[in-house]
Amino acid sequence: MLFLSSKEILILTGIVFGTWLVHGYIQERRENPNNLPLPPGPKGYPIIGSLFSFPTYKAWLEYDKWFKIYGDMIYFKVFGQGFLILGSLERVYDIFERRSSNYSDRPRLVMLNELMGWDYVFVFQRYGTWWRRHRRQFHDHFHPNIVYKYQPIQIDTARAFVRNLLESPEKFRYHIRYAFADSILKTIYGMDVRENDSYIGHAKTTLEGVAEAGHPGSFLVDIFPFMKTIPEWFPGAEWKRKANVWSHINSIVANSLWNTVKEQMEAGTAKPCIATAMMESIPDDGSPESKEEEIVRRDACAVGFLGGSDTTVSTVTSFFMAMALYPNVQKKAQAELDQVLGSRLPEFNDRPSLPYINALLKECARWQLVTPLAISHMSSNADEYNGYHIPKGTYVIGNAWSILHDPKIYRDPFLFNPDRFLKNGEIDPSVRDPTVASFGFGRRICPGRFFADASLFSTVTHVLAVFDIKPSLDKNGKEIEIKPDMTNGLLSYPESFECTITPRSNETEQLIRNSGLMV
């Protein structure tokens, strides 16, 4: 057995470290022969870079402060890994749209994909053929010319939702999650949420994991991949235990619903849905290719269920918060609905006649974002941009929060004000539409955005047509303060708050009761 003295270990360590530095220097010179500067950003230390200033709590707010110091493009390193944060629509468009061929890849997400099992989700997959196949399969069932087919389900879900609110308004957050899970479960798998409510909890738990691990660098294992071999019993390996729990639940969501529909298809009891349509299009020849096609379709369905059952939940919850905080906005929206609807509930064909409602929906998307920091892209090759060198493998992140809270674009950006999108009583096309940032960027933009928008319209209009939303009162009759705070993470949700939800009148209460069965 070979034993080294302390001096020999120190010399060997120095050689390894020196070799690493020389290799990095040579690679950098090859990528950057003109010796262009890196974009501006905080100065770091040798080896660790900007580790001590690397924001992990509501990073979008910290980056917004940095933009005021360094400009709308910030570069820094952590343990040699480069990060480029974009803070304006101009930078985002230049990088993710005009140079999309170089900036559509994803980083290696060790915690999320390799340990938690999210590699089946095309949102986090590396850019290439496998990603394209998954995204195409999903897009075929959620593009704008087909989502109208799901409107009857969305209307039924909205009406069941207001019935549930009438019976137990204090549970509004639960009812929101339940309603969207029901809508997407019926759309994709043809199943009723009442018989499969365990999947609501599974989706919530696994997406909590995404919120925590979705940004590269959230866990050290993303920076030091060798750490993934550490056993969960090892001291300090709480992150590994978390990953194993999330991985187990994620596997259930990815496989169980698909397999259930598959069994129903064989028994002849499956209801028409996206999953059955996908299954019917798989070649029945038992070939490796057909098995691969089934995997792609199964994965696309699971992505739709997870995204549809949870992410819009955040926006609708923010809507309830906004209505309690801004009663004048609520009254204005209700007045428009009353004028168009009379004594009935809303339908999708009412939408063109509801400009203020459409403006309100835009403000819901802008005011409190579900993903304030977009999911990280990665540069496939070294690039030169505006006189700066962007190294190969740089993690590139668009700060959607900064783009949609820019005071130069949106006056008083922290206020909830739908009127900012209107001119002469109609939507003003000259005002920046929040969809430029709220659903991601470039080739990675969310393909489920049209379904989400329709669900939001149906839910919001039904609630405003029949309910008043106000702040709750304490035992002394004073309003309980509502702070418009959001949680930390890749997916952000409103912090806990209380509000009072009551029927607008006896007539609207009766309208609710006549609207259909509760879910």
Q: What is the pLDDT of residues 72-106, one digit of tens each?
A: 999 999 999 999 999 999 999 999 999 999 999 99
Tell me: the pLDDT tens digits for 167-196? 999 999 999 999 999 999 999 999 987 766
* Chain mean pLDDT for the chain: 91
What mean pLDDT do residues 307-321 have? 92
Long-range contacts of 12-18 (CB under 8 A, 24+ apart): none
Q: How far apart are CA 228 and CA 242, in angstroms?
A: 12
Quote the tokens at residue 326: 């801004």
In the chain, what percentage of residues exceed pLDDT 70? 93
pTM (predicted TM-score): 0.91
What mean pLDDT do residues 53-77 have? 96
Quote the tokens at residue 422: 């209107």
Question: Which of 50-59, 207-216, 353-362 shows the highest mean pLDDT?
Answer: 353-362
Q: At what angle do helices 172-189 and 238-267 cross, to 10 degrees?
A: 50
| pLDDT surpasses 90 at 254 | no
| pLDDT surpasses 50 at 519 | no
Residue ranges per structural domain of the chain = 37-513
Q: Length of the chain in residues, anyone? A: 519
Q: Give the CATH fold of the 37-513 domain.
A: Cytochrome p450 (1.10.630)
Classify each residue of 368-390 as buried b or exposed e, where b means 16 or more C-beta atoms within 10 Å of its C-beta: bbbbbbbbbbbbeebbebeeebb
Q: Report the binding-site residues for heme.
A: 446
Q: Which of 18, 41, 20, 17 is nearest to 390 (CA)?
A: 41
More confident residue, 48 or 322: 322
Rg, C-alpha atoms of the chain: 25
pLDDT band at 232; cut points 50, 70, 90: confident
Question: Helices (H), strands (E): how many in the chain?
Answer: 17, 10
Tell me: the pLDDT tens digits for 96-135? 999 999 999 999 999 999 999 899 999 999 999 999 999 9
**Per-residue pLDDT, 503:** 97
Q: Report the binding-site residues.
A: 446
What mean pLDDT do residues 349-375 have? 97
In the chain, what percentage of residues exceed pLDDT 90? 74
Q: How far apart are CA 251 and CA 358, in angstroms?
A: 38
Q: How far apart are CA 86 and CA 398, in angstroms?
A: 5
Q: Are 518 and 167 contacting, i.e. CB atoms less than 8 angstroms apart?
A: yes
Q: How far is CA 102 from CA 98, 105, 408, 503, in A?
A: 9, 8, 30, 53
| pLDDT surpasses 50 at 325 | yes
**Per-residue pLDDT, 30:** 73
